[in-house]
Structure 1
Amino acid sequence: MNIKAICLGALALSVLSGVTFAGALDEPDNMQPFFTDSSMKTMKSDADFKAAWGAMPKEKQEAMKKECNDAAMSKPHAEFCVKVHLIGGNS
């Protein structure tokens, strides 16, 4: 009985905490300004990217830069993170 309760508790915790793992790069509202299409497959030009980056609040910029500096978080967003490093800096 104790093992079953522990397993169920661990499962519930992993399901509930899974939502907290989503970061700034996983939020469509944060990413949409950098893409030309609603499917977010085609990135905007460097000039438009830079304009969208400049219009973003500093807190979101910092969160995105932090995630782009994390290899695991940036892997699915590699092309975006390259532009962040070039235009937004990699501090």
Structure 2
Amino acid sequence: MRRKLACVAVFAVAFGANAASANPFTDLAALPTFYTDATMKTMKPMAEFKKAWFALSKHDQAKMTKACDDPALRKPHAQFCANVLILGGTK
């Protein structure tokens, strides 16, 4: 019984973590710090964007860089991802 419960718990954690990290654009609380307005349409200048980027944890930076490497996630956030990929060291 314990083995069954452990397997179910591992599955639930793995499934939940995967779904939660699928799109960091929807769940990253720091995302608005990169924009000048509440609607997140106007990007901050690169100097301010850079400050906000380096204020993120390495984990969040890695999540954003990975998401911006995905063409499907990058398309609606093209300008943001261009800055992320420059600061993230890829492309």
TM exceeds 0.5?
yes
The root-mean-square deviation of aligned C-alpha atoms, in Å, is: 1.9
User: Which runs of 5 or more structure 2 residues have no equivalent in the other structure?
Assistant: 1-15
1:70 is matched with which residue?
70
1:56-77 superposed Cα distances (whole Å, 9 cap, x missing partner): 0000000000000011111111
Q: Distance in 2 between matches of 1:90 and 1:26?
A: 22
- The one-letter amino acid paired with 2:29 is D
**Runs of 4+ in structure 1 over 2 Å off:** none
Whether the 8 Å contact between 1:24 and 1:30 is mirrored in structure 2 is no
User: Which runs of 5 or more structure 1 residues have no equivalent in the other structure?
Assistant: 1-16
TM-score (normalised: structure 1): 0.71
1:88 is matched with which residue?
88
1:6 is matched with which residue?
none
- Pairs within 5 Å for 1:48-59: 48-59=48-59
| Largest Rg, 1 or 2 | 1
Question: CA offset at residue 88 of structure 1?
Answer: 2.5
2:40 pairs with 1:40: yes
